[in-house]
Structure 1
């Protein structure tokens, strides 16, 4: 990533960097095109963010935080090379100044493509905000892993698995006993 994220009045020492990777059994150019499809990002990030794609480079993000607080920002793609890299950064006024990069590399043994997702951000509130963010898992590493796994499912199967709208087995038994 090209520059350090620095919120106004916040020292870069409070910056958090997260990195996750996954191998997907598809060529890099197909994965790049799927990621850049305007419908993809809102789908794969739906587990923790509401994203509205504005145009070919900009998107509005809203993430629910602790105590019913929402954090908002607009991101802009600042670098893209088909099948190689997509990089973005938040615009001025972001509640959570951030930047990210998705890199595409051939996987060893011709097993598809290795994707590396890196996110760098300044938690709201400086050092105290970083501690609170860590304690409350506002942007945990698991969120990045889950996003990559959701993307892998979408790329390899055409859908993201979901349990929404499906009753749990134990509830079905309870209904049968009540009847």
Structure 2
């Protein structure tokens, strides 16, 4: 559950250029037209994967479904659904993302080891989406860069 109005969440997600802000492996998304977008995604072992995605169903404020086109390095598809919470507070968000990683079964094993398996990744990205939408930022366990030290003269 995300404590934001359904339409606000839908609008943010529907502009796919926002997705790299909380999807760790998405480097960039460029809109090609109203239904197609080009994605650059970090793959296993430092590979860069190019995807062209097209929207197959779009119900404003409620649901977006997509799939890869022939121009993609991998086959993928998915959907996201936004529903008002039954208790009248916030929005329930469900997402399904599936893909056939490069290198077939070996690619799936590498993806799992690197925690890029679709289920694990989708849960992680939904948590990051929730943080971003509710607080405007994503918490991280990374230590900030240390402040530069002044030169010492003895």
TM-score, normalized by length of structure 2? 0.79
SS in 2 for 1:123: coil
* Residue 112 in structure 1 maps to residue 82 in structure 2: no
Question: Deviation at 1:120?
Answer: 1.2
CA deviations 1:110-134 (Å, max 9, x no partner) are 2211000111111222223322322
**Cα RMSD for the two superposed structures:** 2.6
1:41 counterpart residue number = 19
**1:58-97 maps to which residues of 2 (within 5 A)?**
58-97=36-75
TM-score, normalized by length of structure 1? 0.69
Q: How many pairs are equivalent?
A: 149
SS in 1 for 2:87: helix
8 Å contact 2:50–2:73 — kept in the other structure? yes
Summarize the Cα distance change of 1:42–1:68 in structure 2 as closer, same or farther, 3 Å threshold.
closer
Distance 2:137 2:119 in 1: 20
Summarize the Cα distance change of 1:35–1:68 in structure 2 as closer, same or farther, 3 Å threshold.
closer
Summarize the Cα distance change of 1:66–1:29 in structure 2 as closer, same or farther, 3 Å threshold.
closer
Structure 1 gaps of 5+ residues are 1-22
* Residue 145 in structure 1 maps to residue 123 in structure 2: yes
SS in 2 for 1:24: coil
Instruction: Compare the two structures and name the one with the higher helix fraction.
Output: 1
SS in 2 for 1:160: coil
Structure 2 gaps of 5+ residues are none
The structure, 1 or 2, with the larger RCO (C-alpha pairs under 8 Å, 6+ apart) is 1
CA deviations 1:12-33 (Å, max 9, x no partner) are xxxxxxxxxxx11122122212
